[in-house]
Amino acid sequence: MKAPPMMMVLWRSTSLTMRWTMLTIAVLIWSASAICAMYLHAREVVWIAAIVDGYAGLFAGLTLLAPSLLLAVDARQLRIPRMHNVVLPGMIFYALTLAAIPSILLTLAGGEFAGIFAIQMLGLTAGTALGLLPRSVAAVSGFVPVLVSSFRPYLALPHWASGGLFCVLAGVALFCSVIAVRWRRQLRSVDPYRLSASRALVMQNRSQTMGWHRWGGWGQSRDSALAMQTVPAWMLPKADLNGTGPRDPARSLRVALGGWLLPITWHSMLLRWVSVLVPMAIIASLCARSAGVSILSLLGLIVHGMTFGVWVWLAGYGGAALSLVVAVTLQQRWRKANAELPLLALLPALGHGWPLVRNLLRASLLRVLTIQAVLLALVLAVALIQHVDAWSVGIALLGQVAAAGIALVFALSNFGGVSVPKWSAGLIAALCFGLVGFDNVCMPFFSPSPVLGGSSTVLLASAWMLVILALGWMAWRGWCGVQRRPHPFLPA
C-alpha cells in the first residue's frame, strides 16, 4: 500500500465526531498558545504555552491515537493481512505530526524546539498509554494537574543545558514501554472483546449496543447494567428496600434509578468504605513510618499544610465527578425504552404532575446537591481561615456552582425530553476538569502567589461564567420540556 492511503486508513478509522472535535480543539489551543507566546514576550509564557499544548496532546493521544488499537484488534480477529503494518506506522506518523505542529509554532514564537517537542511527546505518549491501560487507571488522570503542581518546584524546564530534558525524555520512554507492552497484550489476547476489568480503556469504551465494528463509544458512558455482569455478585451493592413503596415515592424512585442513587444496606456501605479506606490507611501508615511520625500526626500535618488551592481542587474535582456520576446514570435510564422507563410510567402511586417531578428531582439531586453544599461550605471556611483574596474565592465558588449545575442540567434535560448528545457528559466533564486544573494556575498548591497574573484570573472567572451560563441555558430548556411533557418517563 502506498504511503498516503496508508496514512488515511488510521484517520478514517477514528470516530468521525471525535476526530473533528479533537482536531478543532487542538488547532484552537495551538493557535491561542502560539499567539500568547508571540505577543507576551516572556520566556516563562512559552513554556506555559508548551505545557498547555502538551495537555491538549494528552487528550489527543487518548482519543485519537489510542483507539488505533481497535483497528489493530479487529484486523487481527478478522485475519486481514498487512493491516497491522499500516496501523503502527500510521500511529507514529500522527504522533510526530501532532507533536511537531505546536513545537514549530512555539519555536517561531521564540521557544526552544527540542524541549517543547519533548513536552508534546510526553503528553501524547501519556494519553496513548492511558487509553491502553485499564479503565481504573484512567480514574487517576484527574490527578495530573495536582502532580504537575506538586512537582513543579522540583522539576526543571526541559532546556538542553539542564537535566530537565532528559527527565521528560525518560517519561516519554516510560510511556512508550507501557504502550508497547499493553498493545502486545491486548492484540494477542485470546478473546479481546471479553468484558473484564483489565481490558484497555479504549476496548472498554467500545460501544456495547451499537455493534462490535462501531467505534463510537468515546464520550459515552458504559451501561451500568452491562457493567454489572463483569463484577462478582458479592462485590455489588445490596439495595436497601426499607421504607420504599407508595408512602415514600422519592426513596422508591432512588431504588428504580439505581447506580449511585440506590439506597444500599449498612453492610454494603461498610464494605464500600472499607474497600476505599483500608488501602488508604496502609499507604498512610507506610508514609508515616518512613517519616518517623504517627498516622494522626501525619494527617494533622497534611490538613494543616493544605493550601486553599488544594481544597479548591478537591472540592471542584470531587463535586464535578459526583455530578457526572448522577448525570450519566440518568442519561442511561432515559435512553432505554425497555428498562426502567416503562416500569415507572405504569407504576401506580408514584404521583402525577408537579409532585412527581419534585420527587424525581429529590431522588436524583438531593444527595448530590447536599454533598456539593458541604464542599462549598468547607471551601468557604478554609477561605475565611486562610484569608484568601476575593478573586480566588469567587473562582472557587463559580467552580462549585458549575459542578452542581451539571447534575441539575442532565436531570432536567432527561425529564423534559430535551435531546442531549450522548457524548455531552464527556465534553462537559473535560471542560470542567480542565478548568478545575487551570484553577490551580491561579491558586497553586504549594505557593500563595499565582503562577500567572491578574489577567489570567479574570479570564478564568469569565470561562467559568460562560460554562455556568451555558449550563443555565440547558437547564432552562430542560425545565420547559418538563412543563410541556405529560409525564417525565418518556424516552429523551
244 binds another protein (CB under 8 A): yes
269 binds another protein (CB under 8 A): no
Which grid coordinates are listed for 422?
A: 450522548
What letter represents residue 109's amino acid? A
Q: Pick from 1, 35, 156, 343: which binds another protein (CB under 8 A)?
A: 343
Smaller CB separation from another protein, 340 or 439: 340
Task: Give me the least distance between CB of 72 and another protein, in Å please.
Answer: 31
Q: Is 366 helix (H, G, I), strand (E, B) or coil?
A: helix
Nearest to 156 by CA among 142, 170, 146, 144: 170
Task: Give me the least distance between CB of 230 and another protein, in Å please.
Answer: 10
Task: Give me the least distance between CB of 388 and another protein, in Å please.
Answer: 42
Stretch binding another protein (CB under 8 A), from 131-139, 178-186, 273-281, 347-355: 347-355
339 binds another protein (CB under 8 A): yes
Which grid coordinates are listed for 354?
A: 408537579
Q: Pick from 292, 352, 453, 455: which binds another protein (CB under 8 A)?
A: 352
330 binds another protein (CB under 8 A): no
346 binds another protein (CB under 8 A): yes
Q: Pick from 164, 171, 342, 472: which binds another protein (CB under 8 A)?
A: 342
Q: Pick from 229, 290, 419, 455: which binds another protein (CB under 8 A)?
A: 229
CA distance 98 to 160: 22
Site string for another protein, 188-227 (x = CB under 8 A): ------------------------------------xx--
Q: Is 264 helix (H, G, I), strand (E, B) or coil?
A: strand
Smaller CB separation from another protein, 72 or 255: 255
CA distance 81 to 243: 60
Task: Give me the least distance between CB of 272 and another protein, in Å please.
Answer: 14
Cβ atoms of 418 and 485 closer than 8 Å: no
Stretch binding another protein (CB under 8 A), from 39-47, 181-189, 339-347, 357-365: 339-347
Smaller CB separation from another protein, 332 or 392: 332
Smaller CB separation from another protein, 40 or 225: 225
421 binds another protein (CB under 8 A): no
* C-beta pairs of 460-464 under 8 Å, 24+ apart in sequence: 460/395, 460/435, 461/391, 461/394, 461/395, 461/398, 463/435, 463/438, 464/395, 464/398, 464/399, 464/402, 464/435
Please tell me the count of residues contacting another protein according to CB under 8 A.
Answer: 39
**Residues belonging to the chain:** 492
HSE (side-chain half, CA atoms, 13 Å) at 168: 25
Q: Which one-letter DSSP state was computed for residue 213? A: T
Smaller CB separation from another protein, 138 or 490: 490
Determine how many CB atoms are found less than 10 A away from the CB of residue 247.
9
Query: In sequence order, what DSSP letters do the residues of 35-58 get, joined into one string?
Result: HHHHHH--HHHHHHHHHHHHHHHH
Q: Pick from 101, 114, 239, 452: which binds another protein (CB under 8 A)?
A: 239
Task: Give me the least distance between CB of 71 and another protein, in Å please.
Answer: 28
CA distance 264 to 289: 36
Determine how many CB atoms are found less than 10 A away from the CB of residue 9.
16
245 binds another protein (CB under 8 A): yes
Q: Pick from 190, 276, 349, 390: which binds another protein (CB under 8 A)?
A: 349
Stretch binding another protein (CB under 8 A), from 133-141, 237-245, 405-413, 423-431: 237-245
Which grid coordinates are listed for 485?
A: 411533557
259 binds another protein (CB under 8 A): yes
Rounded to the nearest 5 percent, the helix, strand and coil shares of the chain are: 75, 0, 25
Stretch binding another protein (CB under 8 A), from 10-18, 195-203, 254-262, 280-288: 254-262
* Contacts (Cβ under 8 Å, ≥6 apart) of 345: 487, 489, 490
CA distance 93 to 87: 10
Smaller CB separation from another protein, 25 or 347: 347
486 binds another protein (CB under 8 A): yes
CA distance 331 to 417: 11
Task: Give me the least distance between CB of 229 and another protein, in Å please.
Answer: 6
Q: Pick from 125, 252, 307, 323: which binds another protein (CB under 8 A)?
A: 252
Determine how many CB atoms are found less than 10 A away from the CB of residue 270.
11
CA distance 56 to 25: 8
355 binds another protein (CB under 8 A): no
Residues that bind another protein (CB under 8 A): 224-225, 228-229, 233, 236-237, 239, 241, 244-246, 252, 255-256, 258-259, 262, 336-343, 345-350, 352, 485-487, 489-491
